[in-house]
Amino acid sequence: MADLRAALVAGLNRAFRQSDVGSALIEDVAQEALLRIVDRVGTFRGESRFLTWAMAIATRSMLSHLRRAQWKNVSLDEMAAAGLIPRLATVVSNDEDLDRLRLMDVVRAAIENDLTDRQRQIIQAELAGVPPDVIAERMGSNRNAVYKLVHDARARLKRAILAAGWTPDSVKSVLKGFDTNG
């Protein structure tokens, strides 16, 4: 047990070395993960090495902790508002900019008109950078259910983009501009 705990601490230190995580938090999360591992050890199916399985539990615990802390005191409505795609500038300097404006218009209109309220809220929260586990927590749901809503919303956005006359290739070409100008 001491070896496992030490390995969890070492693993968390390595994975989160670039985050602002103190050693006290690492120790706390490792201890919390250890209890969880003991509690769930009967569900270990042997599909991976035990160490990898245990480390996955510890990594998820730390990530959840950091994500919850980052979005603490922010409501789902506020998250969604932060992800609104703004109306775009109408003055453009070239055809590439115009194409990007047109594509953004299609995406914004599809988010506004083609998604359910729940789908819109989640997609906008994702655009604001909110991870699905935080969204799920705010919704009193789980990550699978949130991902299903995201999946269905993406399918509707795809239909809207294609219905507006875009092809996968033409979208890809415009998206290249995002890399250089976005």
Partner 1 sequence: MAEQRPGVKALVEQALSVLPQELGCDSCADYLAAYADYRLGGRTPPDSLKGVGEHLDRCEACLEEFKLLLDAVQGARDSLGGQHDL
Q: 74 in the Ramachandran plot: left (φ > 0), alpha (ψ -120 to 50) or beta?
A: beta
The amino acid at 69? A
What's the closest the beta carbon of residue 81 comes to partner 1, in angstroms?
13
As a whole number of angstroms, the distance between CA 68 and CA 131 comes to 9
What's the closest the beta carbon of residue 121 comes to partner 1, in angstroms?
14
Structure-derived torsion over alpha carbons of residues 131, 132, 136, 138, reported in degrees to the nearest 10: 20
Residues that bind partner 1 (CB under 8 A): 3-4, 6-16, 47-53, 55-56, 58-60, 62-63, 83, 85-86, 88-89, 92-93, 97-98, 100-101, 103-104, 107, 123, 126-129, 131-133, 142-148, 151, 154-155, 157-158, 161, 168, 171, 175, 178-179, 181-182
Closer to partner 1 at the Cβ: 40 or 75? 40
Closer to partner 1 at the Cβ: 24 or 46? 46
Closer to partner 1 at the Cβ: 77 or 148? 148
What's the closest the beta carbon of residue 77 comes to partner 1, in angstroms?
18
What's the closest the beta carbon of residue 19 comes to partner 1, in angstroms?
9
Alpha helices of the chain — where are they, by DSSP H? 2-15, 23-40, 50-70, 76-82, 95-113, 117-127, 132-139, 143-163, 168-181
Contact in structure between 123 and 115 (CB atoms under 8 Å): yes
